[in-house]
Amino acid sequence: MINKDDILDELFRSKLDDFEQVPPSYVWMKIQEKQNEGKRKRMAYALRMGGIAAALLLAFLLGWQLQEHRDLLKESPVVAEKEQQEDQVREQKQPKEGEFSAVAVQESATSEKKPPSLAEKKAMAEAGNKPEIQGPAKVPVSHRSPAFLAMANVKIETPDVIRELKSKRANDGENELNLTEEDRKIIEMNKRYHGVTPDAKADKSWSIGAQVSPAYSVNQRSYDAAYASNMSGPGEKQSLSLGGGISFRYEAGKRWSIQSGLQYNRLNQSSGSSVSRENAMFGPSNDQLGYTYYNNKVHREPTGQMVMNGSAGVIEIERLPSSVRVSASLESTEKNQMLLTSDDFEQRFEYVEVPLFVRYKLVDKTWNMHMLGGFSANMLVGNEVFINDGDGRSYVGKTKDMSRMNYSTSIGFGMGYRLTDKIQLNIEPQLKYYLRSLSDNPDVHFKPYSIGVYTGVSYRF
Amino acid sequence: MEELSQLIIDCAAGKSMAQGRLYQLFAPKMYGVCLRYSRDATEAEDNLQDGFIKVFEKIDTFRHEGSFEGWIRRIMVNVSLEKYRKHNLLQTVDDISSYELPDLKDEIISEISANDLMKLIRELPPRYRMVFNLYVFEGMNHREIAEEMRISEGTSKSNLARARIILKKQILRHFQQTENNYSA
């Protein structure tokens, strides 16, 4: 016997198990949009992570360099003291008869590996003892520091002989001094690590450069739903532009340098015209106008300003070329109109960039390689919208609510070729990512990233 | 079959054309599934969209062993369940008094359309709708339903019984009445 519930279940199962219904076409469009958004997010995430990784690597290299430098500084006081005491050592080698020097007292004391107490020293001085003079090589360096002398509370008087030796050294140069091999090594090491060699002096230098860069920009865009529904066609995401500028670089060491300068960059965003449903139904036909047209929704603000939702922000239209016609919108109020045109709009933004980059030299030969990373302040200096028709480009207006100042982060890898000791050719691929939307309009998120190959020449002072 | 396997491989490689083709193949059927689990068409479209995004994300994990349609369908059901869990955890359901209803006549069974039944299912309270769908269409038992929906087995049984009563009542109300009108 069949259960009553089973009959009901079977009724539903038989009629609905293979039920099919074609979903609306916009579902697939939404899926594609979501997928693209996911890809963009992954790309942005990868760029952000890349930037962080580069910054960490640079910080690590900087820290490592500083640590190495600090280790050397720990050794250097001994070496410095050695130089300071050279005069004292020379004095000991040629003492005058009957003279008594504090250094001699100290040297004598230290030569016995047991520094005398203050009372002992005073007693020795009062007794007029002439301590045995020892060569500098036998004296532990740590016992000859000025700090120790101060502790010993012994008055140091520069004898005439020392003054004479100093004068001789100044006149004849140190080669004529009786420096031991060990002294020379220490002095050499000191020079090397304290950057007093001719080469090291050259490292701490300035250079000035000029470069041009073709930049390939990818514009990441997203919009509020209401904005997007009244927007012109989104246009191409990619654009190619040319930038250039000058740079100043301070080479702070053998490997590290800091760079700034002034750079001009341009970003383009095209807005394709779109076909809206209302005009497809009610607008003038292509035949009436005599050419193929598209249309864009425009709106008149209370001030009379005509505005249109563009891909990179709201376009304030100041004038229109004759090829563009304005039609009343039949869908809504008289404030909403349609622009009829077969041409594309181009929103153009020009920026002057002040970068602050840190460079680390990986290879330093005739061909040199380095990596760089840093931040830039980008000031908006140009904001124009054009329409591209068959005859060329016509000025239309500007984009509203663009941020006057923006910041970007850059990472890059550079190669240079030394033409001469002073002049160098540079090629530097750089990836730049704007840290926030270039538009202040909350409905528009316009955040491009660009890849540029900076090519130029630099001159080193 | 080989064509479908190749399509799956291409989708896993991220080829948009293949994804579009796969969507064309399975979207109507899966939309039907989503409609059964949803309150209205908008919710069904959302579930279908989220389901296919998940399908394309996870398609490289499909092992080409079982039914691919079953795999996609399971994803759609899971998306619907997730959404249900997110929005209906604290939902209370009015008590439906249980009483004997007359049997469904063969004429009604043969005349009632799939769209009519779909409408009735979508009008069920969310929890009843989920339990009914999982039991009747996915073939789950009450223990499995209880696990999926994080309810007790007793609640699952009770929800199924109440779903059946509502559905039967609605069928009788709409179609018995019509039949009576015709005979009058």
Report pLDDT digits (tens) over A245-294.
Answer: 888 888 888 788 899 998 888 888 877 655 444 444 444 444 444 444 55
Mean pLDDT of A97-117: 47
Q: Is the dihedral of CA A357, A360, A364, A367 positive or negative?
A: negative
Mean pLDDT of A76-99: 54
- What residues contact A52, with CB distance under 8 A and at least 6 apart? none
Q: Is the dihedral of CA A79, A85, A90, A92 positive or negative?
A: negative
* Residue B51 forms part of a structural domain: yes
User: Are residues A237 and A318 both part of a single domain?
Assistant: yes
Torsion angles phi and psi, residue A251, rounded to 5: -90, 105
* Residue A426 forms part of a structural domain: yes
Total number of domains in chain A:
3
User: Cβ B31–A35 below 8 Å, yes or no?
Assistant: no
User: Are residues A268 and A300 both part of a single domain?
Assistant: yes
Between CA A169 and CA B118 the distance in angstroms is 107
User: Are residues A162 and A212 both part of a single domain?
Assistant: no
Between CA A389 and CA A345 the distance in angstroms is 9
Tell me which of A153, A171, A189 is where a domain ends: A171
ipTM: 0.85
Mean pLDDT of B32-52: 93
User: Are residues A113 and A228 both part of a single domain?
Assistant: no
Tell me which of A77, A112, A139 is where a domain ends: A77
Between CA A22 and CA B74 the distance in angstroms is 19
pLDDT of residue A66: 67
Structural domain of B110 = 106-183
Mean pLDDT of B100-107: 72
Residues in chain B closer than 8 A to A25 (CB atoms): none
User: Are residues A52 and A97 both part of a single domain?
Assistant: no
Residue A198 clears pLDDT 80, i.e. is over it: no
* Residue A10 forms part of a structural domain: no
Tell me which of B38, B57, B76 is where a domain ends: B76
- Average pLDDT of chain B? 85
- What residues contact B151, with CB distance under 8 A and at least 6 apart? B127, B145, B159
Residues in chain B closer than 8 A to A43 (CB atoms): none
* Residue A186 forms part of a structural domain: no
User: Are residues A96 and A43 both part of a single domain?
Assistant: no
Of B20, B27, B132, the CB nearest to A23: B27
Strands A294-300 and A238-251: unpaired
Residue A241 clears pLDDT 90, i.e. is over it: no
CATH number at residue B167: 1.10.10.10
Strands A336-341 and A325-328: antiparallel
Residue A129 clears pLDDT 60, i.e. is over it: no
DSSP designation for A290: T
User: Are residues A106 and A253 both part of a single domain?
Assistant: no
pLDDT of residue A287: 44
- Average pLDDT of chain A? 72
Angle CA B3–B6–B10, to nearest 5: 135
Residue A156 clears pLDDT 60, i.e. is over it: no
User: Are residues A226 and A300 both part of a single domain?
Assistant: yes
CB neighbourhood size of A180 (10 A): 12
> What is the per-residue pLDDT across A385-409, written as a single tens digit (0 to 9) for each?
888 766 677 888 889 889 888 889 9
Instruction: Give the number of A-B residue pairs with CB atoms closer than 8 Å.
Output: 80
Of B19, B27, B164, the CB nearest to A8: B164
Mean pLDDT of B118-125: 91
Structural domain of A118 = 85-171
Contact A266, A348 (CB under 8 A): yes
CB neighbourhood size of A62 (10 A): 14
Give strand pairing partners of A215.
A241, A452
User: Are residues B72 and B110 both part of a single domain?
Assistant: no
Between CA B58 and CA B70 the distance in angstroms is 14
Closest Cα partner for A409 from A54, A62, A51, A59? A51
Give strand pairing partners of A159.
none
Q: What is the pTM of this model?
A: 0.42
Helix (H) or strand (E) holding A171: helix A160-172
Mean pLDDT of B119-140: 92
User: Cβ B117–A31 below 8 Å, yes or no?
Assistant: no
CA of residue A62 relative to chain centroid, distance = 14
CATH number at residue B52: 1.10.1740.10
User: Are residues B13 and B68 both part of a single domain?
Assistant: yes
User: Are residues A311 and A340 both part of a single domain?
Assistant: yes
User: Are residues B10 and B71 both part of a single domain?
Assistant: yes
pLDDT category at B150 given cuts 50, 70, 90 is: confident
pLDDT category at A165 given cuts 50, 70, 90 is: low
3-class secondary-structure state, position A177: coil
Residue B130 clears pLDDT 90, i.e. is over it: yes
Between CA B95 and CA A420 the distance in angstroms is 92
Which of A370-379, B50-59, B65-74, B107-116 is least confident? B107-116
* Residue A2 forms part of a structural domain: no
Question: Residues of B at the A interface (Cβ-Cβ below 8 Å)?
Answer: 16, 19-20, 23, 27-29, 31-32, 35-36, 45, 48-49, 52-53, 56, 103-104, 109, 112-114, 117-118, 121, 132, 135-137, 164, 167-168
User: Are residues B72 and B124 both part of a single domain?
Assistant: no
CA of residue A167 relative to chain centroid, distance = 51
User: Are residues A208 and A134 both part of a single domain?
Assistant: no
* Residue B86 forms part of a structural domain: no
Among A8, A10, A35, A42, most B C-beta atoms within 10 A, so best to mutate, is A8
- What residues contact A231, with CB distance under 8 A and at least 6 apart? A223, A271, A274, A309, A310, A311
Of A9, A13, A27, the CB nearest to B45: A27
* Residue B93 forms part of a structural domain: no
Report in angstroms the alpha-carbon separations of A347 from A315, A316, B39, B144.
Answer: 8, 11, 44, 58
Between CA A146 and CA A135 the distance in angstroms is 18
State which residue of chain A sits closest to B16, comparing Cα positions. Answer: A32
Report the percentage of chain A scoring pLDDT > 70.
59
Write down the residue that tokens 């927007």 correspond to: A231
Of A4, A8, A24, the CB nearest to B167: A8
Report the percentage of chain B scoring pLDDT > 70.
87
CATH number at residue A361: 2.40.160.20
Total number of domains in chain B:
2
User: Are residues A64 and A160 both part of a single domain?
Assistant: no
* Residue B94 forms part of a structural domain: no
Tell me which of B27, B56, B76 is where a domain ends: B76
3-class secondary-structure state, position B12: helix
Greater pLDDT, A188 or A401: A401
Burial class (CB in 10 A: 0-12, 13-18, 19+), A100: middle
User: Are residues A130 and A263 both part of a single domain?
Assistant: no
Tell me which of A77, A112, A143 is where a domain ends: A77
What DSSP string runs through A53-122?
Answer: HHHHHHHHHHHHHHHHHHHHHHHHHHHHHHHHTHHHHHHHHSPPTT---HHHHHHHHHHTTSPPPHHHHH
Largest separation between any pair of C-alpha atoms in chain A: 137
* Residue B85 forms part of a structural domain: no
Closest CA of chain A from B48, distance in Å: 8
Greater pLDDT, A313 or B72: B72
Mean pLDDT of A91-116: 49
User: Are residues B176 and B111 both part of a single domain?
Assistant: yes
